[in-house]
């Protein structure tokens, strides 16, 4: 009975928290829980769900060859484009922070504009167009490297790499902004102290003073980046279609969209979602551990 | 002595009994051929094999009763199996029926009362109506003659914008398809074959080879953009190679052979109606090195040089190699079936082979210098392989299986038989047997397919157990980890009492500060370092021998432990030596012993990843190979970071200096190796010199 009394005592606090908790429960908690529940059923939006136990997961890991392929693509996005764009954001932000405020603002806008402008990446559909009028094909044929146009967005050998390039171009997002901000409020005194203690060059400065100070921004950027690279989907669908040729560039998310909104196999789609969720959770944990260790040393 | 003799006799008797009693084993297989009967095995090594063909007879002109034919150029077998021999020495065509009986000859032909003679004929073919086409180099045209020796028409150089005006039309080979389209290969016609319809209209070129794009070519292209017209005209022109011969199969596809100077792949082509090559090997758009694999004899490179190609009724492709006088037979999937012939004077070997043709599965080869036709007949083994291959390529795996089994009994090194058996067994759901056959055939795709089914079957049957075990294991590990975390008192966090044994693991997980601490505390141990280096050696052996078959490019039966030892332990020693030499010059603090310890500790993550790789590679299938690639990448990154930190800490260098030192050390290793080789060769020469002096003294005394 102690609990109820406690609640009564802290009525005001609970009231304060109520609006947020209500929204959080309705819009986040319930969907997640129900998705986990549905992943153990064969729900297909028409008939009532039937409990099938591990069947969806068995099918996913043991019978679905395409899922393995899709997983491979997702890993490539997560562990190749993710870190790459993370470092790119950081280095660009570092460069930008050297300029005076006016130029800095302009440069920030320029680099941030791709992710600001929404579907502007359709320009890449023209650049990598599969006929002889596509920009890349046209140039390569003019130089005589190609005899006939390469169908960049349909050919399974190329489409993944094209999308990786576009994704890199797009990925200077919130993390980048956070880095730019982070570079602005570094403690100047520390740099002076460092200079007295024998910091020799800019790289040492970056390594021993700047990065440890920027730990929170780095953490935020990493989490955003992982989320973004695991969730690459709009670019893939826009450029490669749904599904892409031979699933050559499909990611787990597009696969999920395929099963959820095209085939209506909600149970299976939920299982995919749960696996994706766990993978993201684990990756975030690992990243957090690495950054924490680094920033407290 | 006597006992040996008795043994031999007994062995002989037993062997003969065996030969008689093994079913499906006829004496045809025991036929001795006068040349090295070999085939390429799964590793592209030449191994002795059962003969698929044997030289049945050799026919010269006098045997045929047509007088001899000096330097015959070409030969053709028409749809009724009549044989036409183009006897260039006597400027005539000799006709034989399929039993090699003389039926007639054409040595002159008429048109409106005018009499023509061949001047330098070099290619012949006959269409389904019996009309004869002869490519004549001397007359620079193709004569079209009917069976009665009347000239129907002449195909001469076409007037077209496509054809360069200053180039001669020198027909070498000619072929006719079912629609009456004539394909003419002219000397130096790199644009492909000239195509003419039955009214002599020029239709265009067909099936040009592609220029092989090399770096040199790209550079020259850029130069041509810059230079003036005159300058670029004087540069080397990159032209595709011309085809040397052409044949049209019963399937209507056009087969050509050509010879590339630089790259020796894709010499044989099967062209579809767009002129695209569709003779693929193993994968779409992938071709193979046809004929013998290139070999260096001293400085001279020898590679197959194909002069003629022929397709049998069953779709087997025979290619004639002038260089070594051999016929190579391939199936429609570019698998090598048989090799026959050689350069010699016996029956079944050649001096200057000029043309190859086939009647059914019998192969005829025309020799220009010997002026003979050599007839190769299938052995029992060859016949079995042919029947099985036809069934197999039509997808009738089950029907082919029994034949493959017999083939396998006769020659268990015949890889195609194992692939066929494997595929059939896959269809019959006998996965573990299929696995063995795919392994013998080195067919990694098939192996992976069979393995996947076996593995997933096992996993599905035990999914509950495995899932539960996994969950439990994770929980147990988590609890233990928490315990360990708790045991670490705050006190220890600050004083850092890490024992000697723990240090290798500690620096592995904390490279940036671990090595620095190791340097300060002096807790490195030579013993542990040496154990790690030996582990590196052991893991390299494991990696070579026990990586799963799907991911293992090595031959397990050819392991050389000494070479692995020198590639790991000795190389590591050189690394340490070289780094020590360089760092003493650049005022590094590390002693030899310290460098040994630190470098060895940096190897540890690599060793652990390698071990993981070996274990996983035995579980995963081909499609999951990317996980292994990830492990490799991670292990390399880890190794580089660890090594950087280790060298940095051991010498107390700055970052830039560390990188420079490491690069210098790598160069140092190369120098050490160079000096070793130098010393070795010098001593070998010295030894040879002393030996020759000794011999002189001993033998002259």
pLDDT at B15 over 70: no
According to the model, what pLDDT value does residue A154 have?
A: 86
Distance from CA of A150 to the nearest CA of B (A): 15
CATH fold match for the domains B48-378 and B381-487: no
Q: B494: pLDDT confidence band, cut at 50, 70 and 90?
A: low
CB B259 within 8 A of CB B236: no
Q: Is the peptide bond before A243 cis (omega within 30 degrees of 0)?
A: yes
| Predicted pLDDT at B418 | 94
Count residue pairs from A and B with Cβ separation < 8 A: 29
What element of type H or E holds B296? strand B295-297
Q: How confident is the model at residue B14 (pLDDT cuts 50, 70, 90)?
A: low
End-to-end CA distance of chain B: 40
Nearest CB to A68 within list B213, B218, B623: B623
Question: Which of A242-246, B164-168, B247-251 has the largest mean confidence?
Answer: B247-251
Query: A145: which chain B residues are within 8 Å (Cβ-Cβ)?
Result: 213, 218
> Is B459 touching A (CB cutoff 8 A)?
yes
Residues 42-101 on A with a CB inside 8 Å of B are: 54, 58, 62-63, 65, 68-69, 72, 75-76, 79
Residue A285 belongs to some domain of the structure: yes
Both tokens of A256, joined, read 């999920």
> A56 lies in a domain?
no
Q: What is the pLDDT of residues B654-670, one digit of tens each?
A: 888 899 999 999 999 99
Q: How big is chain A, counted in residues?
A: 297
Q: Is B96 helix (H, G, I), strand (E, B) or coil?
A: strand
The CATH topology of domain B381-487 is: 1.25.40
Question: Is a pLDDT exceeding 60 seen at residue B20?
Answer: no
Q: Where are the domains of chain B?
A: 48-378, 381-487, 489-683
**Chain B residues close to A63, C-beta within 8 Å:** 456
Cross-chain Cβ contact B623/A297 below 8 Å = no
d(CA B73, CA B70): 9
- The A residues from 184 to 223 touching B (CB cutoff 8 Å) are 200, 203-204
Nearest CA to A251 out of A89, A120, A128, A81 is that of: A81
- Angle CA B483–B488–B491, to nearest 5: 155
Mean pLDDT of the residues in chain A: 85
Closest CA to B367 of B145, B55, B585: B55
Helix, strand, coil shares, percent, chain B, to 5 = 45, 20, 35
Element (H, E) at B657: helix B655-700
In a domain, A214, yes or no: yes
Q: Give the pLDDT confidence of B207-223 residue by residue, as tens digits.
A: 888 777 777 777 887 88
Phi (first) and psi of residue B356, to 5 degrees: -130, 135
B328 forms bridges with which residues in the sheet? B319, B339
Return the minimum-mean-pLDDT range out of A174-178, B134-138, B474-478, B666-670: A174-178
Name which of B460, B623, B655 is nearest A62 (Cβ-Cβ): B460
Residues of chain A in contact with residue B464, where contact means CB-CB under 8 angstroms, are 54
Residues 128-147 of A with CB under 8 A from B: 143-145
B98 neighbors B83 (Cβ within 8 angstroms) = yes
Structural domain contains residue A143: yes
**CB distance from B445 to chain A under 8 Å?**
no
Are B291 and B304 a contacting pair, CB within 8 Å?
Answer: yes
Residue of A nearest to B460 (CA): A58
* Owner of token pair 């990830």: B630
B47-96 pLDDT per residue, tens: 899 899 999 999 988 888 877 788 899 999 998 899 999 988 888 899 99
Rounded CA-CA distance A13/A165 in Å is 49
Question: Measured in whole angstroms, how far is the alpha carbon of residue B635 from the centre of its chain?
Answer: 31
- B221 to chain A: which residues are within 8 Å by CB? 143-144
Distance to chain A for B499, nearest Cα, Å:
21
CATH number, domain of A205, equals: 1.10.3720.10
Read out DSSP for A242-292?
A: SSPGGGSS--HHHHHHIIIIIS--HHHHHHHHHHHHHHHHHHHHHHHHHHH
Show residues of chain A in contact with B456, CB under 8 Å.
Answer: 62-63
Model pLDDT, residue B310? 95
Cα–chain-centroid distance for residue B472? 49
* pLDDT, position B495: 54
**Chain A nearest-CA residue for B464:** A54
Name the 3-class secondary structure at B54.
Answer: strand
Radius of gyration of chain A (CA): 24
Put simply, the answer to whether A62 touches B655 (Cβ < 8 Å) is no
Assess if residue A131 is contained within a domain: yes
Closest-approach residue (CA) in chain A for B462:
A58
Average pLDDT for residues A174-191, to the nearest whole number?
84
Q: Cα separation of B551 and B625, whole Å?
A: 8
Q: B456 and A63: CB-CB below 8 Å?
A: yes
The number of distinct structural domains making up chain A is 1
- Domain for residue A14, yes or no? no
Q: Is B342 helix (H, G, I), strand (E, B) or coil?
A: coil
What is the CATH code of the structural domain delimited by B48-378? 2.120.10.30
B237 touches A at CB < 8 Å: no
Contact B463 A54 (CB under 8 A): yes
Say yes or no: A246 contacts chain B, CB-CB below 8 A: no
Instruction: Tell me the residue range of the domain where A134 lies.
Output: 65-293
- Give a yes or no: residue A53 inside a domain: no
pLDDT above 80: residue B21: no
The alpha-carbon gap from A76 to the nearest alpha carbon of chain B, in Å, equals 9
A297 touches chain B (CB under 8 A): yes
A286 min Cα distance to partner chain B (Å): 13
Residue B232 CB contacts under 8 Å (≥ 6 apart), including other chains: B223, B224
Nearest CA in chain B to A146: B213
B236, pLDDT greater than 80? no
Judge whether residue A245 has pLDDT over 70. Answer: yes
B430/B436 Cα distance (integer angstroms): 11
CA end-to-end span of chain A: 46
> Could you give the CA distance from residue B29 to residue B50 in angstroms, rounded to a whole number?
7
Cβ contact B122:B112 at 8 Å: no
Q: Hey, are the CB atoms on A54 and B467 less than 8 Å from each other?
A: yes
- In this predicted structure, which of A111-120, A208-217, A233-242, B509-518 has the lowest mean pLDDT? A111-120
Nearest CA in chain A to B463: A58
Which three-class secondary structure state does DSSP give residue B411? coil
Fill in the DSSP letter of residue A148. S
Residue in B with minimal Cα distance to A140: B218
Q: What pLDDT score was predicted for residue B30?
A: 57
């Amino acid at each position: 009975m102690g609990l109820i009394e406690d609640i009564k005592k802290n009525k005001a606090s609970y009231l304060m928290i109520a609006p947020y908790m209500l929204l959080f429960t309705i819009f986040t908690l319930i969907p997640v829980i129900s998705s986990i529940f549905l992943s153990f059923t064969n729900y297909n939006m028409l008939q009532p769900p039937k409990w099938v136990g591990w069947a969806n997961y068995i099918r996913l890991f043991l019978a679905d060859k395409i899922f393995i392929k899709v997983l491979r693509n997702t890993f490539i996005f997560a562990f190749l484009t993710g870190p790459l764009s993370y470092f790119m954001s950081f280095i660009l932000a570092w460069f930008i922070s050297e300029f005076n405020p006016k130029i800095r603002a302009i440069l920030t806008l320029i680099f941030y504009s791709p992710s600001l402008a929404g579907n502007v990446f359709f320009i890449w559909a023209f650049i990598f167009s599969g006929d002889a009028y596509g920009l890349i094909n046209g140039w390569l044929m003019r130089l005589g490297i190609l005899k006939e146009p390469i169908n960049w967005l349909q050919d399974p050998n190329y489409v993944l790499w094209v999308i990786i390039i576009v994704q890199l171009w797009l990925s200077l997002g919130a993390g980048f902004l956070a880095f730019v901000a982070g570079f602005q409020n570094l403690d100047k005194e520390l740099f002076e102290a460092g200079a007295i203690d024998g910091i020799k060059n800019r790289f040492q400065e970056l390594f021993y003073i700047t990065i440890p100070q920027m730990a929170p921004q780095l953490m935020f950027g990493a989490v955003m980046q992982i989320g973004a690279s695991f969730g690459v989907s709009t670019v893939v669908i826009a450029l490669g279609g749904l599904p892409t040729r031979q699933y050559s560039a499909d990611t787990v998310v597009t696969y999920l969209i395929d099963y959820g909104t095209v085939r209506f196999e909600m149970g299976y789609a939920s299982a995919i979602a749960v696996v994706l969720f766990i993978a993201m959770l684990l990756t975030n944990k690992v990243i957090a551990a690495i950054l924490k260790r680094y920033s407290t040393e | 002595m006597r006992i040996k003799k008795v043994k031999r006799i007994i062995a002989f008797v037993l062997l003969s009994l065996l030969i008689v009693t093994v079913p499906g084993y006829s004496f045809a297989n025991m036929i001795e051929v006068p040349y090295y009967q070999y085939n390429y095995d799964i590793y592209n090594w030449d191994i002795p094999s059962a003969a698929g063909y044997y030289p049945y007879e050799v026919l010269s002109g006098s045997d045929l009763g047509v007088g001899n034919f000096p330097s015959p150029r070409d030969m053709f077998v028409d749809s009724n199996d009549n044989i036409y021999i183009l006897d260039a020495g006597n400027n005539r065509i000799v006709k034989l029926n399929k039993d090699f009986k003389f039926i007639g000859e054409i040595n002159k032909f008429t048109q409106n009362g005018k009499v023509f003679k061949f001047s330098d004929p070099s290619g012949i073919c006959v269409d389904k109506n019996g009309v004869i086409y002869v490519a004549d180099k001397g007359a620079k045209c193709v004569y079209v003659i009917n069976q009665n020796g009347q000239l129907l028409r002449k195909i001469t150089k076409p007037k077209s914008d496509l054809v360069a005006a200053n180039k001669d039309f020198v027909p070498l080979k000619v072929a006719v398809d079912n629609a009456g389209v004539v394909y003419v290969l002219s000397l130096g016609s790199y644009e492909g074959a000239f195509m003419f319809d039955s009214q002599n209209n020029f239709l265009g070129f067909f099936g040009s080879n592609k220029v092989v794009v090399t770096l040199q070519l790209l550079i020259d292209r850029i130069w041509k953009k810059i230079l003036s017209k005159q300058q670029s005209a004087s540069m080397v022109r990159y032209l595709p190679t011309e085809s040397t011969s052409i044949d049209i199969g019963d399937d209507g596809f056009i087969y050509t052979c050509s010879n590339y100077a630089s790259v020796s792949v894709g010499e044989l082509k099967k062209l579809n109606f767009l002129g695209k090559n569709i003779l693929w090997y193993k994968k779409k758009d992938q071709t193979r090195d046809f004929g013998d694999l290139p070999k260096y004899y001293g400085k001279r490179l020898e590679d197959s040089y194909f002069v003629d190609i022929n397709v049998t009724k069953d779709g087997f492709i025979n290619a004639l190699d002038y260089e070594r006088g051999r016929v190579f037979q391939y199936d429609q999937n570019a698998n090598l079936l048989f090799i026959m012939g050689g350069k010699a004077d016996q029956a079944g070997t050649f001096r200057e082979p000029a043309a190859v043709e086939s009647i059914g599965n019998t192969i005829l080869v025309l020799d220009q210098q010997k002026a003979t036709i050599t007839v190769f007949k299938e052995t029992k083994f060859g016949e079995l392989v042919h029947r099985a291959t036809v069934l197999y390529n039509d997808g009738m795996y089950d029907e082919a299986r029994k034949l493959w089994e017999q083939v396998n009994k006769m020659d268990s090194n015949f890889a195609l038989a194992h692939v066929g058996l494997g595929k059939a067994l896959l269809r019959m759901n006998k996965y573990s047997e299929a696995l063995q056959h795919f392994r013998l055939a080195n067919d990694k795709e098939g192996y992976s397919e069979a393995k996947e089914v076996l593995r997933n079957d096992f996993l599905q049957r035990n999914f509950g157990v495995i899932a539960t075990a996994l969950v439990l294991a994770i929980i147990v590990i988590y609890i233990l980890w928490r315990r360990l975390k708790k045991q670490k008192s705050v006190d220890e966090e600050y004083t850092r009492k890490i024992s000697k044994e723990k240090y290798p693991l500690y620096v592995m997980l904390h490279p940036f500060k671990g090595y620095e601490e190791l340097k300060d505390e002096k807790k490195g141990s030579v013993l542990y370092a040496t154990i790690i280096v030996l582990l590196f050696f052991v893991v390299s052996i494991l990696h070579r021998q026990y990586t799963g078959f799907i991911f293992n490019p090595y031959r397990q039966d050819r392991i050389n432990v000494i070479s692995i030892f020198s590639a790991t332990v000795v190389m590591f020693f050189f690394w340490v030596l070289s780094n020590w030499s360089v760092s003493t010059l650049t005022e590094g603090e590390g002693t030899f012993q310290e460098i040994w310890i630190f470098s060895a500790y940096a190897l540890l993550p690599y060793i652990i990843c390698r071990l993981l790789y070996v274990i996983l590679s035995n579980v995963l299938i081909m499609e999951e190979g990317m996980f292994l690639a990830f492990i490799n990448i991670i292990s390399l990154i880890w190794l580089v970071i660890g090594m950087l930190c280790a060298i940095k800490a051991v010498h107390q260098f700055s970052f830039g200096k560390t990188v420079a030192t490491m690069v210098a050390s790598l160069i140092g290793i190369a120098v050490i190796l160079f000096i070793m080789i130098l010393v070795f060769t010098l001593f070998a020469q010295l030894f040879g010199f002393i030996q020759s002096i000794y011999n002189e003294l001993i033998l002259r005394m």
